[in-house]
Amino acid sequence: MTSKQLAWLIRRHGVEMTHLSGGSHIGAILSVADIMGVLYTDILKFDVNNPEWDGRDRFILSKGHAGASVYAAIAENGFFDTEELKTHYQNGSRLSGHVSHHLPGIDFSTGSLGHGLPVAAGRALAGKQNGVNFRSFVVMGDGECNEGSVWEAAEFANHYKLDNLVAIVDYNHMQSLDYCNNTLEVEMIKRWRGFGWNIIEVNGHDHGELKSALINTSNSENKPTVVIANTVKGKGISFMEMDILWHYRFPHEGWEYNCAVNELHKVKPEGVIDPYTPNGCPETIAQPENCRHTVSETYNPTYYTREVESK
């Protein structure tokens, strides 16, 4: 499977899983889909027949709310049947909304932000101490970088020269309630540079750029690497892109689901079969004009700093 095919399938599964469950975070699943697609085809070493293989690359999806993306990626790689993806969020399922390690192919649970990088650093350190040649990968959100524990780990990893540690920031510029810069102003690149990391900035939807950044992260100064992947929240479905509402809203039955599926079908790579709607959805339900309830442009949280500035 190519990275493009996997990324498309992650998006398609993500729409279906959140649609069926009424689950949140489709915006984050779509923004990270290309990163996950590239990782799980061209980058990560793993053995589907031996999930605990000692030589595998270690992987943590620290932005655990995008759990559907890793579930889809490993199911498509054969760790379990893709049919099980439909149980996401359901009673009795193995697929909790946030990442669970009670599944083959996943060995670390997340959901509370700021936990992944310290653990990934510990694994990278153990790899060096044990002389085992793997890389320790962690995918984080940009909002997640508000967490102080991220920066504790950033200091630690640089100090101990963990050049087998690779962090990828899904820099979609939005977090839970608003744009990142409206929440806590930040200069992402400068911040990581201040912590001494090897920094690679890429377009997080360009598979060529992602691959060339991730294929070899060794560097002469033995620094840990962070790939700042510039992304668009909701990428691939026009009415979800850069709209904070779709951090939580799920594609409802009707035009939201139909239009989402049909937009994906317009860019479906060759050789991919949509497991849910092989021919797309019938175009009977178009997006209504002047539909206000699925956009957040009227959403104006009042922030103290803005009030101060306006005075």
Partner 1 sequence: MRDTVIKTLIELGKKDKDIELITGDLGFGVLKPFWETLPNQFINAGIAEQNMTGVAAGLALEGKKVFTYSIGNFPTLRCLEQIRNDCAYHNANVNIICVGGGYVYGSLGMSHHATEDIACLRALPDVTVICPGDPLEAKLATEVIAHTDGTTYLRLGRGGEKVVNNSIKKFTIGKAYKIRDAKDMPNKIAIFSTGAILEETSKACDILEEQGIAAEQYSFPTVKPIDKGVISDCAKRFDYIFTVEEHNIQGGFGSAIAEVLCECEGIAKLHRIGINDFYCIEVGSQSYLREQVGINAEGIVDKVKGVIGE
Stretch that binds partner 1, among 9-17, 24-32, 115-123, 296-304 (CB under 8 A): 115-123
3-state secondary structure of 137: strand
Stretch that binds partner 1, among 149-157, 199-207, 214-222, 243-251 (CB under 8 A): 149-157
Position 117 contacts partner 1 (CB under 8 A): yes
Spell out the residues 6+ positions from residue 258 whose beta carbon is closer than 8 angstroms to its own.
281, 282, 283, 284, 285
- Least distance from partner 1 to the Cβ atom of residue 267, Å: 37
How many Å apart are CA 29 and CA 23, to the nearest integer?
11
Q: From the list 1, 5, 77, 152, which residue makes contact with partner 1 (rule: CB under 8 A)? A: 152
Residues in binding contact with partner 1, number by CB under 8 A: 32
* Window 73-112: residues binding partner 1 (CB under 8 A): 101, 107-112
State which residue, 52 or 81, has the beta carbon closest to partner 1.
52
How many Å apart are CA 252 and CA 20, to the nearest integer?
9
* Window 160-219: residues binding partner 1 (CB under 8 A): 160
- Least distance from partner 1 to the Cβ atom of residue 180, Å: 21
Q: From the list 95, 121, 168, 202, which residue makes contact with partner 1 (rule: CB under 8 A)? A: 121
State which residue, 144 or 256, has the beta carbon closest to partner 1.
144
Eight-state DSSP code of residue 269: P
Eight-state DSSP code of residue 93: -
Work out the angle between the directed axes of helices 116-130 and 148-159 (0-180°, nearest 10): 20
Structure tokens at 121: 């650093």
Helices (H) and strands (E) in the chain, counts: 10, 5
Whether residue 107 contacts residue 101, with contact meaning beta carbons closer than 8 Å, is answered with yes
Stretch that binds partner 1, among 123-131, 182-190, 202-210, 227-235 (CB under 8 A): 123-131
How many Å apart are CA 28 and CA 303, to the nearest integer?
24
Position 63 contacts partner 1 (CB under 8 A): no
Evaluated on CA atoms 14, 19, 20, 23, the torsion sign reads: positive
Stretch that binds partner 1, among 77-85, 153-161, 177-185, 273-281 (CB under 8 A): 153-161
Position 9 contacts partner 1 (CB under 8 A): no
State which residue, 114 or 204, has the beta carbon closest to partner 1.
114
3-state secondary structure of 133: coil
Position 222 contacts partner 1 (CB under 8 A): no
- Least distance from partner 1 to the Cβ atom of residue 288, Å: 43
How many Å apart are CA 97 and CA 117, to the nearest integer?
20
**Residue 47 burial (C-beta neighbours within 10 Å; 0-12, 13-18, 19+):** exposed
Q: From the list 119, 245, 281, 285, which residue makes contact with partner 1 (rule: CB under 8 A)? A: 119
- Least distance from partner 1 to the Cβ atom of residue 156, Å: 5
- Least distance from partner 1 to the Cβ atom of residue 49, Å: 21
How many Å apart are CA 167 and CA 148, to the nearest integer?
16
The footprint of partner 1 (CB under 8 A) covers: 101, 107-112, 114-115, 117-127, 129-130, 132, 136, 148-149, 152-153, 155-156, 159-160
